[in-house]
Chains A and B, each alone.
Chain A
Amino acid sequence: MNPSYYLFLAALLFTIGALGVLLRRNAILVFMSIELMLNSVNLTLVTFSRIRGTLDGQIMAFFVMVVAAAEVVIGLAIIMSIFRTRRSASVDDANLLKY
Chain B
Amino acid sequence: MTKISFERTGGFMGRKVSATIDLDDLPDEQAELLGDLLDEADFFELPDDLTKPAIPDAFTYNITVFNDDKQHSVRVSDATAPDDLRPLLDELSKQARMQR
Q: Is A bound to B?
A: no
